[in-house]
Amino acid sequence: MPSFIQRFLAPLVLISAAQMSQAQSFDFPPGFRTDDVSTNGTTIHVRHGGSGPAVVLLHGYGETGDMWVAMAAELARNHTVVVPDLRGMGLSAKPAGGFDKKTQAGDVAGVLDALKIKQVDVVAHDIGNMVAWQFAEQHPERLRKIVLTDAPVPGVGPWEEILKNPLLWHFRFGGPDMERLVAGRERIYLDRFWNEFSADPAHFVETARQHYAALYALPGAMHSGFAQFAAFDQDAIDNRAFLAHDKLHAPMLALGGEKSFGLKMADVMREGATDVSADVVPGSGHWIMEENPQATVKLVRNFLGSGK
């Protein structure tokens, strides 16, 4: 088992009660608007607010754009912050297809077009990394800087070796029978992710678990979640085709949770990008905004700067 996956199960030093309470809030700052943007054959639920250079925050599996509340509050001080729910997840529409990350990068571009935003920084986590990577491939002229956090990207670096890890059995878990098994038991299924991929499950607090479990119990949500994983083979094909002749060139911060990917996150990203900085979210497993939001926000803000 690769050492950077084993770290998912390592112990966590305690974080402060203030950090935990910050991670529980799902209320975006005053002045943020919520819109449902029709684009690219679907409808994307988006929160946006603040002023200044734009930054897009992309969530991953087991969460929604709500994971970014603390980040949005800080960055909105001098950025326009855009926080979508990915296709099929959260309060976005649940279409029949389009879960390859190339298509979802088109969703992001469509949201930016609707908001009349030309250039952005992108901050992503988990499956959001994969969408962000495709956005960087397709729209390099629109991207200033990119932050990818604690998850691999299909077809980049040791992807086939990563797939062999038994902790990642869920990548191949899906289809009608699996949907029937999970129906009405979404919380049981999701607890497995929140528990095994955190350094201390207690830091993914009960209010957050209830909040996300309810969103993943919405009609079509689990089907869409399984479809995100089912698209990985196509995502790997798409990314390898790009890497056969180019790499990403935008400045990138590769963040790993100390008890998860750690500095290995940057090692993997350097296989496909030319300008990669590395840093670690201390005392955190995979769930960086639940386990150490203050450190995560600080690292991202320091990298993005004013955006000017």
Q: pLDDT at residue 161 above 90?
A: no
Summarize the confidence of residues 137-163 as an average pLDDT: 91
Which residues have CB under 8 Å from 142's CB, separation 6+? 109, 112, 118, 119, 120, 135
Percentage above 70 pLDDT, the chain: 87
**Per-residue pLDDT at 44:** 98
- Label the pairing between strands 252-257 and 42-50: unpaired
* High-pLDDT (> 90) share of the chain, %: 82
pLDDT digits (tens, 9 = 90+) for 253-271: 999 999 999 999 999 999 9
The pLDDT of residue 162 is 74
- Residue range of the domain that includes 199: 3-304
- pLDDT at residue 23, rounded to an integer: 44
Q: Which of 64, 173, 169, 72 is nearest to 126 (CA)?
A: 64
- Report pTM: 0.90
Give the CATH number, domain containing residue 104: 3.40.50.1820
Q: How many domains does the chain have?
A: 1
Q: How far apart are CA 305 and CA 79, in angstroms?
A: 10
Please write the tens of the pLDDT for every residue from 8-53.
Answer: 333 333 333 333 334 467 999 999 999 999 999 999 999 999 999 9
Q: Is pLDDT above 80 for 157?
A: yes
Per-residue model confidence as pLDDT tens digits over 279-303: 999 999 999 999 999 999 999 999 9
Q: How far apart are CA 7 and CA 28, in angstroms?
A: 32
